[in-house]
Structure 1
Amino acid sequence: MSREGGGSALFSGFRALGLYSSHLPHVLRYHARHREFYLLTAAGRSFHTYNVKKLGIVAVSNALLQDITCLAADRMLVFASYGNLLHAFARNKEVVHIYEGHKGEIHLLQPFGDHVISVDINNVLIVWDIQSEEEYLQLNFDKAVFAVSAIMHPSTYLNKILLGSEQGSLQLWNVKSNKLLYSFPGWGSGVTTLEQAPAVDVVAIGLVSGHIIVHNIKFDETLMKFQQDWGPITAISFRTDGHPVMAAGSPIGHIALWDLEENKLISQMRNAHSTAVAGMSFVQGEPLLVTNGADNAIKIWIFDGPGGGGRLLRCRMGHSAPPTKIRYHGQNGQQILSAGQDGTLQSFSTVHERFNKSLGHGSINKKKSKKKGLQYDTLALPPITTFATEIARQNDWDGIIACHQGYITCTTWNYQKTSMGAHKLKPKAFSKNKPLNIYATAVDITTCGNFAVIGLSTGHIDVYNMQSGIHRGHYGEEKAHEGAVRGVAVDGLNQLTITAGSEGLIKFWKFKTMDFIYSANLSSSPSAMLLHRDSGILGIASDDFGISILDIETRRIVRKFSGHHSQINDMAFSPDGRWLITASMDCTIKTWDLPSGCLIDCFLLDSAAISISMSPTGDFLASSHVDDLGIYLWSNRSLYSLVSLRPLPADYEPSVIMRPGTCPAQDVDITGDEETSDEMIVYSSPEQLEKQLVTLSSLSESRWKNLLSLDIIRKKNKPKEPPKVPKSAPFFIPTVPGLVPRYAAAKQENEQQSKVVNLGILAQKSDFYIQLEEAMSSNEYKSPLSILKEMGPSGIETELRGLAPEGGGSLDVMKSFLRLIGTMLNSKCDFELAQAYLALFLKLHLKIISSEPVLLEEIAKVSIQLEETWIHLQTLFNQSLCVLNYMKSALL
């Protein structure tokens, strides 16, 4: 049976972390009602909205089908395009308009009043009516003569747009009358950007040559000219807070600041971004500059110091190069540590972006590096390839240890201080001479956080103290393995150290004495190793794309899996150790069930996962991918929905699943085929599992537990004195006759008699009474029992009291009630109700029952049933208590 084209039954895409900015320039908007500026940046298939005041994320748009290639906004709507489709978003969230008509990919956008202008790579310009989604005007330009590269609406120029070209010339068009008003010959270099100056008629023109031309388009007159030496101009912005300053961005991340009054360079902001400055905007009327770049960073600079330069005020940044290794940090599943090819170690929060933090860039000498700056830092360490983390003593000393690419020294990092740690761990044997092609390959930290175990490409394995950085010993006489160390792991109790070598051996060592214990041969050279400490299960990935599961207690391989068709990049265990999740270069992520030894889930991605990590709480699987800056979360569906964990067939072919966007995704039901949906039936528990077992009712205790205590409850609730009516004072106060005048004492009224009348035979028969009479002949007691179940304690007592002859009942009805109790005891259902009803019945009518032979005969039968049921129950209780005592004694 095959699930053709099925997605993952176990994981569904949730959202992406660590994505802030792409190569597209940001958009700055002012919200008149909020009186606040908002910043929009494209991040993959969605765009983010931040407030400039705190740079906090406000909204994430719904995802488009492909990555956004162009972004713009007006006062009401946000325009985003991919391919030849243009979309308009309302409320920073949902698409409200789609504009179709371009044949080529859109690369320029310009909102224009009630219209929006788009230009595609085929040099076709279309003016769209925003509300009707219809074309208002279409212009075609000859690509060889005028290839449109920049577009702008000059301030106060009604219905006019200014176009720049790759050839260097500019054209001013009236889009209402469809007329070319004026052509500017240009300055012999292609136009990259156009920016309106604070002065009317003045436009800044950025060129490929690195020149900036400040030009008056009304008189076609150049006012001033600047040149930067860092390549083409990527962005231009003007200060509007009273300082005549213009800022220009470059492809290498530098920003130049020019004084427009003195026509000179006043400051340089070098390495503002590690890639090209994509967008740059001065906030209106404030000394704030907002920049973003393809290095996945948004930065706000404030100009409040001497010299005219800006200092960094706020920033949001992720990795500027793809992550190489990700691991959950801590036990709450809220932080993910990520090492990137950019050389940084960062922590991303799964709860909120404000908890993100960067631990910085690795460096040999941190003080010297800060002086020289990142761009010219010759002491910077290469990217981290693998790391281990432990929280046990992270408040006291460093809790993270990392290996660097092609580097023999391992570094420690401090999560609490968010910085590189105090120690650089390197074997003494290699400290004198600089070794060639010797580097650290594997690391692990003990559960207690005191020791680090480091394996080298030469086969050496050393132990260091994390607090002091002191070398504590090594495994093996000279070295532990003949080949490179591919993995090291220490068990949860610091008893065993397990190591894997490229020669195909798994070795067991005593952790404290470092004595060799045992070695196991593998059929193929191991490429990676992962230990689940709680269960003692070791996962080993091999170079032949197979996976072996080894039990470290018995030291035997207990499972073998095969199915990947390329190198296995990473592995992750579920928190309970039942699943092993593997990611491979064949772009699949597979989940193996260890108890059954079967593949239970597999899904295919458009990009191979480089590293994966399972949350300690089991709610998310995190993954990082080839050539991608984000970290993607996949929610574990088995925690909140019914998931079939049947083994997948050998011919199962997964379909490609899109990676989630930055907005939390809705869970999609993938059980589409009829065969699967028939089998996935929701289980409903029957009323009684087995006839041998005694079943209780589902009624609350208040319905039956207080039936014998109703008299006490009434006494407690009875008022101490009946309410008295205030007596009216007499007109003349009576006096006693005699010589001395005395007032007469008030007469006491007789106590009120009870108004309750015993109707006896005249009482009307209730539904319960009628059902009991009918049950005498039919012997079906379901309906009278259901009536009793719906009543409260007072109603039940009234009904049972009325069964006696003095209450209007009869001996036959009382006999019928006892048969009802017998039926309940026989069926072993509603056991506690039968006990409560029978106890109340006996309390009310014990005198009548003892004097009537018919009732005595029936009560004897019920007594025998009761005794049998209690003996059966007592046996079950004794068995359970015996087993429980045995288990407790075994544990002790």
Structure 2
Amino acid sequence: MSNSRIFAGYRALGFTCNHVPFSIRYHQKHKENYVVTAVGKAFHTYNCSKLGITSISDSHPSDITCLSVDAFLVFTACENEIRAFQNNKQVVHTYKGHQHPVHLLLPYGKHLISVDDASCLKIWDITSEELYLELEFPNATFQITAILHPSTYMNKVLLGSKQGAMQLWNIHTNKLIFTFNGWDSAVTVIEQAPAIDVVAVGLASGKIIVHNLKYDETLMTFTQDWGPVTSMAFRTDGQPILATGSALGHIALWNLEEKKLQSQMRDCHQGSVTSMQCLPSEPLLVTSSSDNSLKVWIFDLPDGGGRLLRMRSGHSAPPNKVRFHGKDGLNVLSAGQDSTLRSFSTDHDSKNKSLGRASYNKSKSKKSGLIKDQHKMPAITDFSSESSRQSDWDSIAACHHGESLVTLWNYIKGSMGAHKLRHPDLEDGRLHANTAAMCVDVSSCGNFVVIGYSSGHVHVYNMQSGIFRGAFGGQTAHTGCIRGVAFDSLNQVVVTAGADCCIKFWRLKSRELLETIILPSQIARFVLHRESSMLAVALDDFKICVVDMDTRKIVRRFCAHTSSINDMTFSPDARWLISATMDAKVFTWDLPSGSLIDCFLVDQAITSLSLSPTGNFLVTSHVDDLGVYLWSNKTLYSHVSLRPLSAEYEAQLVDMPATAIDKRLREDEDEEEEFESDFKSPEQISAQLVTLSLLPESRWKSLILLDVIKMRNKPKQPPKAPKAAPFFLPTVAGIVPKFDTSALDEGEEISKPRVSLADLTNLSAFGQKLQSAKEMDEYAAVMKHLKELGPSAIDAEIRSLSPEGGGSTEVMLQFIKCIHFALGTNRDFELAQAYLALFLKVHGNTITEEADLREGLEELQEAQLSAWEDLEGAMNQSLCLVNYLRSAVI
């Protein structure tokens, strides 16, 4: 449920997998293997052929703790509940009964085995959801850490414990068959070997035991020096190889025939290898890690090792800054604490790409590996991008933590650029020790980049050649650290802000100082909207000042923040300013009115945010979170009332977007929007405004001029009656039969229909409805009948109300009451005025002679004046408001 007026959670980007081990299933119909990985509150399904995402599950109430699959269903554990998903999306079964979080799942035929943190083992019937068997183990003596169903062992389950022992149970008879003493170390993983009766046991001490269950005999023992064994997998393509993963991200390949180490795959992941599995009868190994990466390795190297075949990954450390790249708003650039720069697509995950990891020497970094890379640069703290010349040269400039060196990146090539920008005076602390680049901005033409340093220097470089083009202010532009730099839209003026509380405007070509604005507090950061020349400046006293760069004056001040401001962004039309604070609040300010129109609270503080150039998405990054979150702008597809919030308004907590939209949450949100919608039906606004009938103007606008139109359209000659043929036509004798028309040719008169006077004196259907109308509903039926008639029929009906036309004074008085009723309801306003005008034009003489009709018209006049005054007041108020918004200047 969304508690924000403007933004609603859309989806999360950048998630691939986490620390939960994945599962692989084979699809019989598609003839393909699929990998199911857990991502927070949902799970993703990828095909192994391209690692393309095929489906995203519905969201869980909390994070998934473990998952497993069988031929038809995906089983997930969320706290102490277990769910079974069909088609990778829909929940078809729910299993409740555990008192503690579940951490192990094992589908076994028609049953599902689950183990919780208290070592309580439960066996469920998958279809009926009934509990089949329950076993409890004390954690002090046997804490279950691994579970396996040995091949060909009917109704048998092998359990591994933290104490090191293993137990083989018959779940059909509920009996302990055998206990394995263990190897004085905790069992971390158990894997079935291709040979019958043989399993591999991974221990916390780093040992790998290949053990025969039937004879309780250890066949061979290996030891890896990288710590505990986190995962294991056997190759099934005919090679006797066992692969083991470690907590350092290395993979060891053991030759089971020669009983030795075959090969090493170092630095496969930046985190622990949480899961690995070989594809059946293929030389492929799928691995995952807590570093948010999923990789497929192929064994085709001469030493028997594997090389990376396919990879899908996201940030392995939380992002520092996110910004939309380009004018279409389809790509989001994200700089993470892992020193990588990535691009995420809001359209489809297949368009995501990594621009690489920052390095002092790219070629040496490739040789040394990811973990032991001595040339890795610090994390990116600020960057700026421009798409106007990205096809010609580098289009992104980035600052790094504690570094005076600024790197350039090429978005099209997806790699670091050819140049690194650093002035010789700042190199190796030659002139200014410990100087770091703090902020950067690329001009709208893509030719220049301006860099602000912690020493107060501001330098300009050429993006294409990397040549130094000059400095502002001679030695230093400010006396303190530079907090922000920006180009204007025409590349004529550069604005800088420093810790000395000053904002300075410089001419780009001559480097001369144009003007200085002194603020009451130190500047934390600023953001410029080039199209409108509006500059939002965040101060250290939790206030925001909006400066107009054309007049160079402060035009707005916002003072409702209660914590430091982390980031700000403008809407495309510069009507909104969105700010995020350290207390996890997001504020939306309306610049024309200077008021707060929206505020909501999130779980974790936002480190960076940006609104797309099209205004449809808001992207955010959060503290200690690997994802990039998209929020949709509800004002683009629904009516939203943006009234200013009161001073006592308290921000409500909003759920974070999931990797897929939760249908239940979306339905609840829609219901809430319908309930809180400000739309009112014509019946509801009858006491405030007037409504029109929405009929075409030809139905009512020409009523008063209908006689003129008839005279203009009157034919010059009267219509001639057609010759009437007799029923029995006489014929003339001859070869060719002919009709005898001699009588008609002699001018025989044609009989004409005659109308009696009695027919003229009767009331029409409309007159009869008026005569019998006494209640409100009956007057409404009369108006409805008139709306269905054409202009000529309406004119005839109104003319027939007079005594000369067959009506009476009472019927005319009833018509006046009908118009009075229509004005009182404030509906069909233009029709009531048109009908009344025609009535007065036709029956003016009769009304002046009858006192009852004059009294009725006087009452109708009061109602008409009242309705018109209300309408005139609303129109004047709207016109005044529009004129004020056009010319309002503070």
Is structure 2 residue 528 aligned with structure 1 residue 531? yes
User: Paired residue for 2:167?
Assistant: 171
2:146 aligns with: 150
Deviation (angstroms), 1:769: 4.9
Q: 1:192 to 1:836 in 2, by over 3 A?
A: same
- Aligned pair partner of 1:620 in 608, 617, 620: 617
Give the conservation status (yes or no) of the 8 Å contact 1:10–1:643: no
* 1:659 correspondence with 2:650: no
Which of 304-313 and 628-637 deviates more?
A: 304-313
Q: 1:609 is matched by which residue type in structure 2? A: I
Cα pair distance change 1:699/1:655, threshold 3 Å: closer
Aligned equivalent of 2:285, options 289, 314, 333: 289
Which residue does 2:12 correspond to in 1?
A: 16
- Match 2:327 to one of 325, 331, 341: 331
| Percent pairwise identity | 51
1:728 is matched with which residue? none
CA distance in structure 1 between the partners assigned to 2:829 and 2:320 by the alignment: 63
Which of the residues 367, 372, 377 maps onto 1:381? 377
User: How much does 1:747 deviate?
Assistant: 8.7
8 Å Cα contact 2:356/2:416 also seen in 1: yes
| SS of equivalent residue, structure 2 residue 473 | coil
Q: Contact between 1:47 and 1:61, CA under 8 Å: does it hold in 2?
A: yes
TM-score, length basis structure 2: 0.81
Q: Would the alpha carbon gap of residues 473 and 72 (structure 1) be closer, same or farther in structure 2, given more than 3 Å must change?
A: same
1:491 aligns with 2:503: no
* 2-structure distance, mates of 1:302, 1:756: 100
Given candidates 518, 522, 525, the residue that maps to 1:521 is 518
Show CA shifts across 1:360-413 (max 9, x none).
112233334334433343322221111112222223322221111111121122
Q: CA deviation at 1:471?
A: 1.9
CA distance in 2, matches of 1:596, 1:463: 37
Deviation for aligned residue 1:535: 2.8
Pick the aligned partner of 1:247 from 227, 243, 247. Answer: 243
User: What are the Cα deviations for residues 742-778 of structure 1, in whole angstroms up to 9, with x where unaligned?
Assistant: 8778999999x99999788658864235457889xx9
Measured against aligned partners, the alpha-carbon deviations of 1:416-459 in whole angstroms (never above 9, x if no partner) come to: 22222232222243347666411110111222222211101111
2:866 alignment counterpart = none
Q: Note the C-alpha offset of 1:578.
A: 3.2
Q: Match of 1:646?
A: 644
Distance in 1 (CA, whole Å) between partners of 2:242 and 2:410 is: 41
1:816 positional shift:
10
Contact kept? 1:12, 1:668, Cα under 8 Å? no
Deviations 1:306-333 (A, max 9, x none): 6544443433211011001011222333
User: In the alignment, residue 364 of structure 1 is paired with which amino acid?
Assistant: Y
Aligned residue type for 1:489: A
Per-residue deviation at 1:803? Answer: 9.7
- Tell me the alpha carbon deviations over residues 624-681 of structure 1, each in whole angstroms, 9 at most, x when there is no partner: 111110112233344424345333325x4434443222122435878999xx999975
CA distance in 2, matches of 1:39, 1:818: 77
Separation (CA, whole Å) in 2 of partners of 1:152 and 1:367: 45
d(CA) in 1 for partners of 2:171, 2:375 = 56
Q: Unaligned regions of 5+ residues in structure 2, if any?
A: 716-721, 723-731, 855-860, 862-877
Residue equivalent to 1:356: 352
Distance of aligned partners of 1:284 and 1:705 in 2 relative to their CA distance in 1, 3 Å threshold: farther
Shift of 1:230: 2.6
For 1:203, the equivalent position in structure 2 comes to 199
SS of the equivalent of 1:768 reads: helix
- For 1:62-211, list aligned pairs within 5 A: 62-131=58-127, 133-211=129-207
Q: Which residue of 1 aligns with 2:552?
A: 555
Q: CA RMSD for the aligned pairs?
A: 5.2
The residue aligned with 1:277 is 273
Distance 1:773 1:538, change over 3 A: same
| Partner secondary structure for residue 234 of structure 1 | strand
Question: For residues 131 and 782 of structure 1, what CA distance do their matches in structure 2 show?
Answer: 60
Relative to structure 1, is the Cα distance of residues 820 and 162 closer, same or farther in structure 2, using a 3 angstrom cutoff? closer
Q: Which residue of 2 aligns with 1:768?
A: 766
Preserved CA contact (<8 Å) 2:587 2:600: yes
For the pair 1:567 / 2:560, whether they are aligned, the reply is no
CA distance in 2, matches of 1:179, 1:826: 88
1:96 Cα deviation from its structure 2 partner = 4.6
What amino acid sits opposite 2:475 in the alignment? E
Q: Distance in 1 between matches of 2:217 and 2:402?
A: 57
Q: Match of 2:350, SS? A: helix
Contact 1:303 1:310 in 2 (8 A): yes
Asked if the contact 2:299/2:307 (under 8 Å) is kept, the reply is yes
Displacement after TM superposition at 1:47 (Å): 1.6
Judge conservation of contact 2:227–2:247 (CA < 8 Å) in 1. Answer: yes
1:224–1:263 CA contact under 8 A, matched in 2: yes
- Note the C-alpha offset of 1:280: 1.2
Q: Is the 8 A contact 1:409 1:425 kept in 2?
A: yes
Quick one: structure 1 residues 667 and 637, their matched pair in 2 at CA, closer, same or farther if it must change by over 3 Å? farther
Q: CA deviation at 1:541?
A: 1.9
Report matched runs for 1:303-702 at 5 Å: 303=299, 308-431=304-427, 436-639=433-636, 640-650=638-648, 652-665=649-662, 666-667=665-666, 681-683=678-680, 697-700=693-696
Instruction: Say if 1:405 and 1:439, in contact at 8 Å, map to a contact too.
Output: yes
SS of equivalent to 2:425 = helix
CA distance in 1 between counterparts of 2:186 and 2:22 reads 22
Output the CA distance in 1 between the equivalents of 2:39 and 2:753: 80
Aligned length: 848
Compare 17-26 and 509-518 and name the one that shifted more: 509-518
Cα distance change on mapping 1:831 and 1:175 into 2, 3 Å: closer
User: Following the alignment from structure 1 to structure 2, what is the Cα–Cα distance between the partners of residues 668 and 398?
Assistant: 45
Distance 1:796 1:86, change over 3 A: same
Q: Distance in 2 between matches of 1:104 and 1:815?
A: 83
Describe the shift of the 1:203–1:694 C-alpha distance in structure 2 as closer, same or farther (beyond 3 A). Answer: closer
Distance 2:526 2:109 in 1: 61
Q: CA deviation at 1:146?
A: 3.1
Task: Judge conservation of contact 1:382–1:404 (CA < 8 Å) in 2.
Answer: yes
Per-residue displacement from partner, 1:828-872 (whole Å, max 9, x unpaired)? Answer: 99798799999999xxxx9xx99x9989999xx9xxx9xxxxxxx
Question: 2:796 & 2:223 partners in 1: Cα distance?
Answer: 101
Secondary structure at the aligned position of 1:786 is classed as helix
Instruction: From the superposition, tell whether residues 136 and 690 of structure 1 become closer, same or farther in structure 2 (CA, over 3 Å).
Output: closer
Instruction: Give the SS at the match of 2:366.
Output: helix
Distance in 1 (CA, whole Å) between partners of 2:690 and 2:639 is 31
Deviations along 1:240-265, whole A, 9 cap, x unmatched? 33444332222222223334444444
Q: 1-side partners of 2:346 and 2:670: how far apart? A: 28
Aligned mates of 1:773, 1:563 — CA distance in 2: 65
CA contact (8 A) 1:213 1:222 kept: yes
Q: Is the 8 A contact 1:710 1:794 kept in 2?
A: no
Q: Which secondary structure does the structure 1 equivalent of 2:363 belong to?
A: helix
- Aligned to 1:449, the other structure's residue is in SS state coil
Range with bigger deviation, 461-470 or 579-588: 579-588
Matched, 1:221 2:217: yes
Shift of 1:293: 1.1
C-alpha contact (below 8 Å) 1:593/1:599 kept by paired residues: yes
Paired AA for residue 416 in structure 2? M
Q: Secondary structure at the match of 2:784?
A: helix
State whether residues 772 and 816 of structure 1, in contact with CA within 8 Å, keep that contact through their aligned partners in structure 2.
no
Structure 1 contact 688–829 (Cα < 8 Å) conserved: no
2:33 paired with 1:42: no
Aligned letter for 2:340?
T
